[in-house]
Amino acid sequence: MRKRLANAALLAVLVAGAAAMVFPFVWALVTSISPGAGLSATPSLVPENPSASAYQALFDRLPFGRVVLNSLLLALATAAAQLATASLAAYVFSRMPFKGRGVIFSVYLATMMIPMQVLVVPLFVEMKSLGLIDTYLGVFLPGIASAFGVFLLRQAMNSIPFDLDQAATIDGAGHFRIFVQIILPLIRPALATLAVFTFLNSWNSFLWPLIILRTPALKTLPVALAALQGQYTTQWDIVMAGSVVSILPMLALYVFAQKYIVQGVAGTGFK
């Protein structure tokens, strides 16, 4: 009896906590369909005259479709590039020993410690001298390789028995074939994890696109949203509609990849 009471209390606390976690999202959604929201003094969870006019305004007044597309393409390209560069490097660090490999791997790991903010000034200068300010390439290039991805995939590859590729070597398979036909299919969960993380980071990244992009039509979602907030401080419905649009793809991705995200965080070997 006491145990059941304790369980019920635990569940009640958890649900209350969950309510606090989702409430801001629900509120954002409700506000986005309430024209003229934010003017009343008491917040309401029931929209008075629900309408999609804020979404309409978002796409009419801003190149919002374009902005969503920008973010989507950049995030997809970054994820694809990182999967390619990281898996190739991880293969070497897991399967191709040579003198000095350990040192090179340490240098890779050390780059994880360098905060983006330290790089802001020189990277900006570099992009400027390459003529890449206000271009997608300028946003995209610094993100095409990450030591985190290499580390994550190497851990996954190390957990695959070496007998497998030794057998393939005896059968005459070269490294490229072992990499493509044996290793890659076996580390699919880790690849999915890296893809999701990279997509997420790129989709939500703010500081770097903020610095590089100037033209409104080129901006990514977070940058456009931050600008929107400055422009329409009183029109909360429009601002919230923009927020909802930015959350939805992440929500879909999260539902689809929940299993991998939890596994990925758990399986990085940091435990």
Partner 1 sequence: MTSILARKDRSAERKATEALPRNPTRRTRRLRYAATVALFLLPSAIPLMAFTVGPMIAALWISLTRWNLIGSMKWVGLENYQQLLADPATRNAFLHTLYYIVGYLPLAYAAGLAAALALNTKVPGRSLLRGIYFLPVVTSWIVVALVWRWLLNPDTGLINWLLHLIGIQGPGWWTDPVWSLPSIILASVWKDLGFIMVILLAGLQAIPEELYEAARVDGAGPWRRLFSITLPMLSPSSFFVLVLSLINGFQVFDQVYAMTGGGPNNSSQVVVQQIYDLTFRFGQAGMASALSWMLFAVILVITLIQVRLQKRWVNYA
Within 145-184, the residues that bind partner 1 by CB under 8 A are 145, 147, 150, 174-176, 179
Options 52-60, 165-173, 181-189, 258-266: segment touching partner 1 (CB under 8 A):
258-266
256 binds partner 1 per the rule CB under 8 A: no
245 vs 239: CA distance, rounded Å? 10
Is residue 251 at the binding interface for partner 1, with CB under 8 A as the rule?
yes
Q: Binding marks (x or -) toward partner 1, 181..220, rule CB under 8 A?
A: -------------------x--xx-xx---x---------
Structure-token match 């930015």, residue found: 246
Tell me if 201 sits within 8 A of 73, measured CB to CB: no
Sign of the dihedral through C-alpha 94, 169, 87, 159: negative
Report, in Å, the least distance between residue 164 CB and partner 1: 18
When binding is defined by CB under 8 A, the residue of 16, 73, 107, 217 that contacts partner 1 is 107
- Spatial distance between the Cα atoms of 121 and 115, rounded to a whole number of angstroms: 12
What are the CA-CA distances from residue 66 to residues 44, 61, 214 (Å)? 32, 12, 14
- Our finding on whether 265 is near partner 1 (CB under 8 A) is yes
Tell me the closest approach of the beta carbon of residue 134 to partner 1, in angstroms. Answer: 14
Residue 98 vs 185, nearer CB to partner 1 = 98
List the x/- string, 28-67, binding to partner 1 by CB under 8 A: x---------x-xxxx------------------------
- Which of 69, 73, 118, 164 is in the footprint of partner 1 by CB under 8 A? 118
Number of H helices, E strands in the chain: 14, 0
Instruction: Determine the straight-line distance between the first and last CA of the chain, rounded to whole angstroms.
Output: 36
Task: Pick the closest to residue 259 from 157, 159, 190 (CA basis).
Answer: 190
